[in-house]
Structure formats: structure tokens, C-alpha cells
């Protein structure tokens, strides 16, 4: 009997400084060898946002290849906590200045996904012709959405849209949220910083996730942000199983 070997996921990824900022404080990582992808967004307007996001990504780049599904969960969580400790140490060296980064991470293994996140960078899943937001923003407006006071699209335009409540490196301890779910062949995932969702609403994301070739999707979504003005850094990873 011939065993069918699953095809590796296809993906496209882009990070861009945008049209206003001088420094790209976003960082991304793609580890198809492990089935891990992540976006980190350094806290804009604070010292060392680029340091914080790169510290998160470097910790994930250091993960050893060949991890099994169970070990993958343990090691990714440990990497994010190690990044938190390193960022906190940098903060202490700068008189406790606020240094931090949001993170959203996707791990794919054995027909399932794991999402870990802190902050307002997002993971979406395109499944059965429907776009679902897997993560939930750790932000002032995110809490308002969960309370039924706003929609996610309305939250993007709210005056408190940039006030996050969790990030790697900011609080004494790192609180990560987690979601798991099933994956079927043909599912798509989108990881992004808020530099994209400021300009691409849910309907736009759904249409493009349905229509664009996966190899061009990151570039096509980046174009939407740039045409909208791209006042923030923009990071995008699109994956098809």
C-alpha cells in the first residue's frame, strides 16, 4: 500500500515600512520546516520597538528542526517566554522604558492548527468559503467588540484603536492566548499586523482570500495598504494548506 505524503503548505510573506514611518518595527518569520509562521509588531512610538519584534522572531528562528507536534507547542511557548525575558531585561537597562511587541503565531501539524498570540496582530482562517478571525485583539477596542459595543471594522476607526492591553515584554509576566482547530486541504490562513487591517476590512480580506493566488496574496494585500496610505508598518503572511 502506497502512503500519501502531505504536500507542504504554500505561502507568501511580506513586511514593509509603509509610507510614513522611518523604521520598520514589524518582523516576520516563516519556518515551513516546522510548520510555524509568526508576525511581531514592535510597539510604535516607544523605544526599541524594532528590537522587541526582532527579539521575538529570533527566538522562533532558533527553534530546532524536526520537532514533533507535542514538542512544537512546548518549544514555541518557551521561545516566546524567553523573548519576553530578554525584552524585559533590555527595558531595565533603559530605566524601565516601555519596550514590547505584539505577536501572533500559527503552527500547523497533523491536520490541526495552533494559534498563540498577545496583542492585536491577527490570525484569520479561510475555510468552507468563509473568513473567520481566529485571534481576538488584546486592546481597549477589542474588549469593546467582545462586549458587543463595536464591530471589528468599527474598532479599526476608533480613537483608542492603538491602545493594546498585552504585548511581549511589557507586563511582569507574559499572558498568551491560545486557540486550536482543524485544518482541511485548501484552507488558507492570514497572519498580519494592524498596518494591514487599518486599510483592509473584513469584506476585502474575504474577497482577496477567496480570489488571489496564494503566491501573490501577500503582495496584493500589501498593495491595498499602500494605496490606502500605509501610515504604519505592514506585515502579511498568507498560507494555503
- Higher pLDDT pick, 166 / 164: 166
Confirm whether 4 is domain-assigned: no
Confirm whether 2 is domain-assigned: no
Domain count, the chain: 1
Query: 45: pLDDT confidence band, cut at 50, 70 and 90?
Result: low
- Distance between the two ends of the chain, CA-based, in angstroms? 24
- pLDDT, one tens digit per residue, over 82-96 is 999 999 999 999 888
pLDDT for 144 equals 75
pLDDT for 149 equals 79
- Higher pLDDT pick, 226 / 155: 226
pLDDT for 195 equals 96
pLDDT for 143 equals 72
Confirm whether 85 is domain-assigned: yes
Burial status of residue 111 (CB atoms within 10 A of its CB: 0-12, 13-18, 19 or more): exposed
pLDDT for 151 equals 80
- Average pLDDT of the residues of the chain: 92
Confirm whether 82 is domain-assigned: yes
CA–CA separation, 47 vs 98, rounded Å?
Answer: 7
Confirm whether 29 is domain-assigned: yes
- Higher pLDDT pick, 143 / 34: 34
CA–CA separation, 138 vs 135, rounded Å?
Answer: 9
Using alpha carbons, select from 204, 197, 202 the residue that is nearest to residue 225: 197
Confirm whether 5 is domain-assigned: no
Whether the per-residue pLDDT at 233 is higher than 50: the answer is yes
Which cell is 191 given? Answer: 497572519
Query: Rounded to two decimals, what is the model's pTM?
Result: 0.92
Residue 28 phi/psi, 5-degree rounding, is -130, 160
Share of the chain above pLDDT 90, in %: 79
CATH number for the domain that contains residue 136: 3.60.40.10
Q: Could you list the residue range(s) of the whole structural domain that residue 69 is in?
A: 10-240
CB count within 10 Å of CB 182 equals 10
CA–CA separation, 34 vs 64, rounded Å?
Answer: 9
pLDDT for 1 equals 44
Amino acid at each position: 500500500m502506497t502512503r500519501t505524503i502531505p504536500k507542504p503548505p504554500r505561502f507568501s510573506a511580506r513586511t514593509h515600512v509603509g509610507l510614513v514611518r522611518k523604521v520598520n518595527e514589524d518582523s516576520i518569520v516563516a519556518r515551513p520546516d516546522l510548520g510555524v509562521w509568526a508576525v511581531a509588531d514592535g510597539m510604535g512610538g516607544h523605544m526599541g520597538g524594532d528590537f522587541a519584534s526582532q527579539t521575538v522572531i529570533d527566538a522562533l528562528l532558533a527553534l530546532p528542526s524536526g520537532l514533533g507536534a507535542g514538542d512544537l507547542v512546548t518549544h514555541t511557548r518557551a521561545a516566546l517566554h524567553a523573548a519576553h525575558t530578554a525584552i524585559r531585561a533590555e527595558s531595565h537597562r533603559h530605566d524601565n522604558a516601555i519596550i514590547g511587541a505584539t505577536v501572533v503565531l500559527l503552527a500547523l501539524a497533523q491536520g490541526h492548527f495552533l494559534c498563540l498570540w498577545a496583542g492585536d496582530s491577527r490570525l484569520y482562517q479561510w475555510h468552507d468559503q468563509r473568513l473567520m478571525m481566529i485571534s481576538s485583539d488584546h486592546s481597549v477596542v477589542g474588549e469593546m467588540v467582545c462586549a458587543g459595543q463595536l464591530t471589528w471594522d468599527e474598532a479599526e476607526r476608533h480613537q483608542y484603536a492603538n491602545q493594546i492591553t498585552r504585548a511581549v515584554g511589557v507586563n511582569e509576566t507574559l499572558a498568551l492566548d491560545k486557540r486550536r482547530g482543524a485544518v482541511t486541504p485548501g484552507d488558507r490562513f492570514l497572519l498580519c499586523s494592524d498596518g494591514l487591517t487599518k486599510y483592509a476590512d473584513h469584506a476585502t480580506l474575504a474577497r482577496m482570500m477567496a480570489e488571489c493566488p496564494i503566491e501573490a496574496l501577500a503582495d496584493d494585500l500589501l498593495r491595498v495598504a499602500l494605496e490606502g496610505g500605509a501610515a504604519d508598518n505592514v506585515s502579511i503572511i498568507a498560507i494555503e494548506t
